[in-house]
Structure 1
Amino acid sequence: MRIPRRFTPILFGGLLSLIMVCVVSAFVLTISQGIQPDFTSVWLKSCLTTWPVAFPTVLVVAPLVRKLVERITL
């Protein structure tokens, strides 16, 4: 399946935010609660509740970060 290039920023934001939410929430849960028997269900709930915040945040912030990086690099 190929997705048209015009959707690149949205796909990038979706994948980046999903990966980051999964990694960070697993890390935070492990540090704060340890690995409990219900870790997977708590982790998935955490991912599902935080991803809707992370996704639009990445869509807004990523272009700003790209511009900032362009300004501070040679």
Structure 2
Amino acid sequence: MKNIVPKFHAKHLNWLMPLILSGIMSGAISCFNLLLNKGWSNQFISVWLHAWSMSWLMAFPLILVVLPLVRKFLMRFVQMPNQSAK
């Protein structure tokens, strides 16, 4: 049986991973903050979806810019395993 799920090329991980991660994180945080600050209401879902979309519009570009900077910064403090020891 042939696999019918489309596969992305590995080069797309550089934007797919931040896209999915920023969507999950901004959705969870906006939902949590909305519940804490406003509580549940009949309009909660529509208000939350609007808040989430605005948060995601900020989160995705921000993570695209910040992630390489954080990675570069952390490489100063992380000792990578010796590749020739294999």
The TM-score, its normalising length taken from structure 1, stands at 0.90
Structure 2 partner of 1:33: 38
Alpha-carbon distance in structure 2 between the residues aligned to 1:37 and 1:71: 50
Aligned residue type for 1:46: A
Q: Which one has a larger percent helix, Structure 1 or Structure 2?
A: 1
Q: Mark the runs of 5 or more structure 1 residues left unpaired by the alignment.
A: none
Identity %: 36
**Aligned-residue CA RMSD (Å):** 1.1
The TM-score, its normalising length taken from structure 2, stands at 0.79
- Name which structure has the greater RCO, CA cutoff 8 Å, separation 6+: 1
What SS class does the counterpart of residue 27 from structure 1 fall into? helix
Tell me by how many angstroms 1:15 deviates. Answer: 0.6
Instruction: Could you list the structure 1 runs, at least 4 aligned residues long, displaced by more than 3 angstroms after superposition.
Output: none
Tell me by how many angstroms 1:50 deviates. Answer: 1.8
